[in-house]
Structure 1
Amino acid sequence: MHVKVTTEVRQSLAQVKAGFNEDLFLKLNPPFPSVSLLRFDGCLKGDLVELLLDFKVGKQKWVSEITYDNETPDRFEFIDEGIVLPFPFRFWKHHHILIGNADGCQIVDSIEYKANNKMMTVLLYPLLFLQFVYRKPIYKRVFK
């Protein structure tokens, strides 16, 4: 299934790219589940991001690898793919796209995911959509 959320911010592509760091990553996490960042290498191919999700009834690990990055004068993008995923996910691919424009920068979160079964995949959609909509005011505040 596919979730896509786009946010317009006022800072330039270069400023937004520079701000895609560990500090921003921590700010973007929703209140639940609580997240401990165990590793954050960055946003370039080969980098790893490792999380520990605390669901209060148990903890689960999430590890993603940056499998692609590309930069042009008006665009920066990278893809993180889940290599260790928490229940109920079995596939995760998050394409981060930053597009510079005359007014600032457009941030696109484009996620493909699959759960353990089709019904769970569909049921997760509204939760994931809301989780990424939750990021919009954070992006706007950080990149004002």
Structure 2
Amino acid sequence: MFGKGLLKGLSITIKRLYGPNLTEYYPEVKPILPSRTRSSMVLEPEKCISCGLCVNACPNQVIILTSEKDDKNKKVLQTYNMNMGRCLLCGLCTEACPTKALKLCQVYENAVYHREELLWDMMARSKQAKISSGKVE
């Protein structure tokens, strides 16, 4: 009875020992993620119409946006902040956005040392992404 379980465990160990290596060399080699991976958020502020549907759709009240009316009496986005420490990455805000200004993306390196770093200014992040990709306006 006890010998059978021991032999089975040893056989699994030996198969893993001489089998293929399953180690990923993460910092040097980035993993290929499936297309449906939800890891981060991206905002395109020029598309945003400040309707507030994303704010209402969020179950954890992660999004805080402010807007002002311009001379044509049209809402203009002023600030767009997200508390990513509370975000579930459920995608309800992206589904509610009528202009598809808010999207889920595959940027997965979001680890930080301090909780305050999880308060994202999405306007600044979108400008920084444009600069790093070479799409400076």
- Please report the TM-score for the alignment, with normalisation by the length of structure 1: 0.25
- Please report the TM-score for the alignment, with normalisation by the length of structure 2: 0.26
- Which has a greater percent of helix? 2
Structure with bigger gyration radius: 2
